[in-house]
Amino acid sequence: MIKVLLLPGDGIGPEVIAQAKKVLLHLRSEYNLKIELEEALIGGSAYDDCKNPLPDTTLDLAKSSDAILLGAVGGPKYDNVGRKLRPENGLLRIRAELDLFANLRPAILYKSLAGASSLKPELVADLDIMIVRELTGGIYFGEPRGIRTLENGVRQGFNTLIYDENEVTRIAHVAFRIAQKRNSKLCSVDKANVLEVSELWREVVESVHNNYKDVFLSHMYVDNAAMQLVREPNQFDVVLTGNMFGDILSDAAAMLTGSIGMLPSASLDSNDKGMYEPIHGSAPDIAGKNIANPLATILSIAMMLRYSLEELDLADKVEQAVQQVIANGLRTTDIADKHSAIGTNEMGDAVIDALT
Ligand code: NAD
Ligand code: IPM
Ligand code: MN
């Protein structure tokens, strides 16, 4: 039996996970997917329960599960909670504790959604980019960090952007291998014109490239990459980048596909054990209204089936069902464009209908 842990989290997290759960139960009853579901608290909901955004019970369950599906964490209610106890820190800790260093964020345009993209339809036609984001290092985790008071009484905030060559090597291998399975083009994004850490990043990526000579490697500064993403996104196949640059570029890439509510992700360790999550946050502005788009979370199930559960046919089926629903003109508010919108629940039901 495959153990899947559901971590709904906060805001729209529980709403989108409820849809994903329906889909998983449907795959179990109709397609004989042998899964056992468990649920646990993370983020603000865990903090409310026990003053800890990643309780030991949740972490233990996560470690003993075969795969994890997370909604989202965070919200304004926790803005003044100390950094270590913030909901976001629960998410960062589970990523670090499980060594989920490879974050895959595919930005794919579903054909009939071109009108919902913020770019002209011809610029996003057939868009299919894979962003490979390093997830357990860089400035998110670098020490020293903090806020200190200088001798002159001025307060100073500081973080450390740090990567060692082993961290760069392992994420580069992941990106090259993915590029080999796609169009064999890898663009590594950095800030090597300013930062030593990027200078080393570039050097290491170049040396890993010696193992993958069939892949065309290029390098781009992150400011240019942000510009190129909205100028001519189809020039990219696989994009490799660090933790913070990847966070920013993937939100921008999401909008090319119509909405941040469409982008799934996989966060993998070196054995392809993974946590799967939409790239969006808890969207406090729309939480509790049954209007959030659950498709990013449902598409994250497809990634889970593909990368961790070796259920490639079922992964295709889930993606085809989402494609079908979109082709049928069903839309949540965020991608409605000229269509009338349906709710979160109804979208979940529509995917299940399409699977049937
Ligand atoms: P957000 O992604 O939550 O929302 C940004 C905008 O996109 C909002 O207008 C929201 O309504 C919209 N949106 C997001 N997901 C949507 C969906 N599925 N359907 C329709 N519209 C959607 O980002 P934010 O507002 O900057 O952050 C809100 C909270 O979420 C913060 O506490 C932040 O730290 C947290 N966050 C968590 C994660 C995560 O858990 N992985 C990711 C990003 C942000
Ligand atoms: C994401 C989020 C997280 C990140 C936050 C909530 C810690 O923005 O998953 O993209 O920055 O990684
Ligand atoms: Mn983000």
Residue 77 has pLDDT above 90, yes or no: yes
Q: Binning pLDDT at 50, 70 and 90, where does residue 60 land?
A: very high
pLDDT of residue 287: 98
Region 199-212 average pLDDT:
98
| Secondary structure (3-state) at 102 | strand
* Average predicted confidence (pLDDT) for the chain: 97
As a CATH number, domain 103-262 is 3.40.718.10
C-alpha 244 to ligand 2 mean position (Å): 9
What is the Cα 186 distance to its own chain's centre? Answer: 19
Q: Binning pLDDT at 50, 70 and 90, where does residue 205 land?
A: very high
Alpha-carbon distances, residue 177 vs 19, 241, 320, 344 (angstroms)? 32, 15, 25, 36
Verify whether residue 191 is a known catalytic residue: yes
pLDDT in tens, 265-308: 999 999 999 999 999 999 999 999 999 999 999 999 999 999 99
Residues 6+ apart with CB under 8 A from 203: none
Residue ranges of domains in the chain: 1-101+269-356, 103-262
pLDDT in tens, 107-162: 999 988 988 999 999 999 999 999 999 999 999 999 999 999 999 999 999 999 99
Regarding the beta carbon of 92 and ligand 2, being less than 6 Å apart is answered yes
Q: Binning pLDDT at 50, 70 and 90, where does residue 218 land?
A: very high
pLDDT in tens, 224-275: 999 999 999 999 999 999 999 999 999 999 999 999 999 999 999 999 999 9
**Closest to 296 in 3D by CA, of 99, 113, 59:** 113
pLDDT of residue 111: 85
The DSSP-derived string for 225-282 is HHHHHHH-GGG-SEEEE-HHHHHHHHHHHHHHTT-GGG---EEE-TT--EEE--SS--
Residue 203 has pLDDT above 90, yes or no: yes
DSSP letter at 112 equals G
pLDDT of residue 228: 98
pLDDT of residue 337: 85
One CATH from 1.20.120.550, 3.30.230.10, 3.40.718.10, 3.40.50.10420 for 1-101+269-356: 3.40.718.10
Surrounding ion ligand 3 within 5 Å at CB are 247
Contact 5, 68 (CB under 8 A): yes
d(C-alpha 325, C-alpha 302), whole Å: 15
Regarding the beta carbon of 258 and ligand 1, being less than 6 Å apart is answered no
pTM value surpassing 0.85: yes
Residue 338 has pLDDT above 90, yes or no: no
Regarding the beta carbon of 134 and ligand 2, being less than 6 Å apart is answered no
